[in-house]
Amino acid sequence: MYEQCSFENGFEYIDISNQAAQAKIALQGAHIFQYSVKGEKPLLWLSERSSFEDGVAIRGGIPLCWPRFGNLDTTLPQHGFARVMRFELIAVEEPTPQLTQVHLQLQSSAKSREIWDYAFVLDVVFTISEELTISMTTQNTDSKEFLLTQAFHTYFLVSDIQNVNISGLEKIPFLDTLDKKMDLEDSPITIQSEVDRVYEGNIDEIVLDDKERKIMIVAENSASVIVWNPWSKKCSQMSGMKDDAYKEFVCIESANAFDDHKIVPAGKKETIRVHYKEV
C-alpha cells in the first residue's frame, strides 16, 4: 500500500509499505529519504537537521545529481537542478504484496530552460522490495544533442565510519579530488580522514562491509563511483548536518562522471540503474 502525504509545511512525499519493505520518497527531486527491509535497520542515513522545504535539497537519503554531477560546470548549480524540482507522480504499481514500483517524472519547463536550455523528459522508477532498485532515464526531446553527467548520491547509514570497509574497487584507478592526483587502490577502502575520490573503470559489484551488516551495490551503465566522507572539519561547516554526523554515514555514489559522461543525441535515451541489497 502507499499513501500520498505531506509535512505540516506542505512538503509532499509518498509513503510506501509492503510485506517486504517500507520507504518514503519526496516529490521534490524524486528523492528517496527512507528505505528499510521489514525488521531491519534503515539502509539510508538521513540528517536529523535536514530541511524538508521547497527549493532546499534534502541532506541524506539518495539525492539525484542531474544533469550534472559536481561543480565542474560552472554554468549550472552544483549537482544540477533536478534535486530541488518537483516531479510528477506518474504511477504506483503493486504487482505482488512484496513489491511496489513508483514512477516519477520531470519534464523541461520555462523554469528549467532558464538554467539549462534543453528540452528533456527525466523518468525515475523506484522498485521497493527486499532489494531497492532505482532507474533514471533521460530522454532528449530537443533538436540538438546534450552532454549528461549524473549520480545517485547515496548516503549509507553505518554503525561508525571507522567500522567500515568498502571492497570491489581494488585495481580501479581513482582521482583524489583533495590533492588532484591519480592513484590506484590495492585493498579494501577504510576511512580514517576526509575522503573524496572518483573511481573510473570496469566496476562490478561493490560491498559495503559494516560491523553489523554487508550491503551490495550493483550499477548498470555506470563506470564511475564516488566515495565521500567529509570528516570532522568539513562536516562542522556544512549546512543541514550536525558536527559529528560524519561518523554515521558514508557516500558511495554510482555515477556517469568525468570521462564517463554521456552524449545524448536528439530523440535518444540514456538509462542508469542501481541495485542495493543487504547480503
Distance CA 153, CA 80 (A): 12
Beta bridge partners of 91: 103
Q: Which helix H or strand E contains 231, and what residues bound it? A: helix 231-237
Closest by CA to 71, choosing from 174, 137, 149, is 149
Find the Cα–Cα–Cα–Cα dihedral 194, 212, 97, 124, rounded to 10°.
10
31 is catalytic: no
Q: Which of 185, 200, 248, 253 is catalytic?
A: 253
153 is catalytic: yes
How many other CB atoms are there within 10 angstroms of residue 236's CB atom? Answer: 14
**Local structure of residue 237 (DSSP, 8 states):** H
Distance CA 220, CA 204 (A): 9
Go through 170-206 and write b for each residue having 16 or more CB atoms within 10 A of its CB, e for each that does not: eebebbeeeeeeeeebeeebebeeebbbbbbeebeeb
> Residue 106 carries which side chain, given as an amino acid letter?
L
Distance CA 235, CA 222 (A): 28
Q: Which helix H or strand E contains 134, and what residues bound it? A: strand 132-140
User: Rounded to 5 degrees, what are φ and ψ at 113?
Assistant: -75, -20
> Residue 105 carries which side chain, given as an amino acid letter?
Q
Q: Which of 31, 153, 200, 248 is catalytic?
A: 153
First vs last C-alpha separation in the chain? 26
Task: Give catalytic residues, as residue numbers.
Answer: 153, 253
